Amino acid sequence: MAGTGVARPRQKREVIRGSRIRKFRMDPMAMAPRYTDQHAQAGLDFNFPAIETWRNQFPGYEIVIDDPEFTSVCPKTGLPDFGTITLRYMPREQCLELKSWKEYLFCYRNLGIFQENVVNRILEDVVKACDPVWAVVKGDFRPRGGISTTIEARWPRPEA
């Protein structure tokens, strides 16, 4: 670093661009991870309220619930994430109570949690609440920094 008297190790690398070989220096200090395991796990230990249910009266149909005004917060930057959460499921014996569902989703509003974790956590909580035949949670997040994200999680989970 210039002017600090601290020497940083440097490493030479070669990159082939077309027919030219360009040499540049790569600073290992600049390659330190910007996102840590703490960031990745943020929000997963939050104590969400239970989603209430009511007894299903009919077999073999699909329920689709959209929340087009979903918000959460990036745990790294603190910037808001806006998106649409869509839940599709086939109820078994219990259906989700919609006001309770709305209150559950509202808990994410100021919670620092990655978008991928939002979708997977919602799926896990839906399964815990109503044990559906199958369920799909889709998070369609609006662009931040020019990139939008769509995440989909399914129950039962596919085998890895």
Q: How far apart are CA 24 and CA 90, in angstroms?
A: 56
Asked whether residue 140 is assigned to any structural domain, the reply reads yes
Residue 74 annotated in active site: yes
The reported pLDDT for the residue numbered 39 is 87
Asked whether residue 13 is assigned to any structural domain, the reply reads no
| Model confidence pLDDT, tens digit, residues 94-141 | 999 999 999 999 999 999 999 999 999 999 999 999 999 999 999 999
| Location of structure tokens 């931040």 | 144
Annotated active-site residue in 45, 66, 74, 107: 74
The reported pLDDT for the residue numbered 135 is 98
The reported pLDDT for the residue numbered 34 is 80
| Alpha-carbon distances, residue 121 vs 5, 28, 114, 138 (angstroms) | 48, 35, 10, 12
Domain count, the chain: 1
Predicted TM-score (pTM) of this structure: 0.79
Residues of the chain below pLDDT 50: 1, 8-9, 11-17, 24
> Domain containing 136 — which CATH number?
3.30.1130.10
Annotated active-site residue in 67, 81, 95, 130: 81
